Structure 1
């Protein structure tokens, strides 16, 4: 083996050809599964898209670096499933750009945190985690309650997501700013139209408890409350059991 290696080092053409062959084998192993991706990725006709307010909340989640301490991918391990719920499926991230699977769990996985806690709990926890969990190492995000949410460019965010495959309609894009306000103000006249565009399962309520202002806290809590709720595919009885 070492003799072959020494000989290749002395032969530039042979070394180049060997590198090409090895890289080709590695590339084929990585690329080949893509030809069967349609057979391996689940499909769900009822998969819904994020509302404009949830998109804004997801952007804040990214901006604040929440993905650095929280994963959004439950592995197919029994311990993971017992603690967090059914393991994550590819279809659940179908409309996530970028993916937020994460690689570190300083805090718990959030893939199924939607509706696990009340809006008031999430608001209080984000405002100061130690008010609810004294031993928490999570920083406080008090400015989320102070900062009013910018909605003027939400239509552009939806249009950009449509270019990468998220099925937003022209109507959704045109009404993005209005829908963001409506989702956090259930008494507004625009709330029924929001529910019609995004489905009856859409959460329409005052997420931060204050209907007078639309804040970044409204957006982030709205996003957290739909994690794991975009589709019921993970709860189908025909899925393999965790290992």
Structure 2
């Protein structure tokens, strides 16, 4: 079998050709089965696109590089599930552009951080992490509380995401500005219409900032929704695979 192996090793052209053939075969083996399934994303009840406020929060999270120290991917290993909760499902990040799974955990995984801590805890933690976790090396983000959230481009942003497959409706896009206020200031604005458009979503004053909706309000709204959309009580891997 290996009698002519020396010819392969001494011929650059032959080695390149056989390498390409091997890669091609491997690619075909991986790609062809995908054409036999309707979708590689399992349907999970409760998963929805981000609200306008959550969407801005995600943009701020990305802008500040939070994903470089925090992952958003609970792997299906016993130790990770015991620490962080149910392993991550593909459906939970189907509306993420780009994905923020991360590859490093300087801090804990945040895939299921939503509703785990109060809004006040998040605000204090962002202002000065060491007030709550003395050993933390996370930098402070107090300045986010002083920055008013700029929302004039939200309609364009949502329409662009709709082109990429996010199912935002005309009503959700048209009421985006009002929905930001309703989610961040539910005691002052119409939340009934907001909940009709978005279903289950975290409501409340996310910070103690009274003068305007801040970038910190948006960031906390995003953190509070992470891992809370999917109804994991109805998720059955066996049933989902049969449906596909």
Same fold (TM over 0.5): yes
Partner of 1:173: 173
Q: 1:71 to 1:174 in 2, by over 3 A?
A: same
- Of 163-172 and 219-228, deviating more is 163-172
Alpha-carbon distance between aligned partners in 2 of 1:222 and 1:14, rounded to the nearest angstrom:
57
Contact 1:68 1:104 in 2 (8 A): yes
Partner of 2:8: 8
State the TM-score, normalizing by the size of structure 2.
0.89
Q: 1:12 to 1:119 in 2, by over 3 A?
A: closer
Partner of 2:85: 85
Instruction: Please state how far the C-alpha of 1:2 moved relative to its aligned partner.
Output: 6.8
Q: Does 1:230 align with 2:229?
A: yes
Q: Does 1:213 align with 2:212?
A: yes
Alpha-carbon distance between aligned partners in 2 of 1:83 and 1:28, rounded to the nearest angstrom:
38
State the TM-score, normalizing by the size of structure 1.
0.89
- Structure 2: runs of 5 or more not aligned: 239-244
- Structure 1: runs of 5 or more not aligned: none
* Cα deviation 1:64-84 (Å, max 9, x = unaligned): 111011111111110001111
> Aligned ranges for residues 70-149 of structure 1 at < 5 Å?
70-149=70-149
SS in 2 for 1:23: helix
Alpha-carbon distance between aligned partners in 1 of 2:216 and 2:230, rounded to the nearest angstrom:
24
**Length, aligned pairs only:** 238
Instruction: Please state how far the C-alpha of 1:173 moved relative to its aligned partner.
Output: 1.2
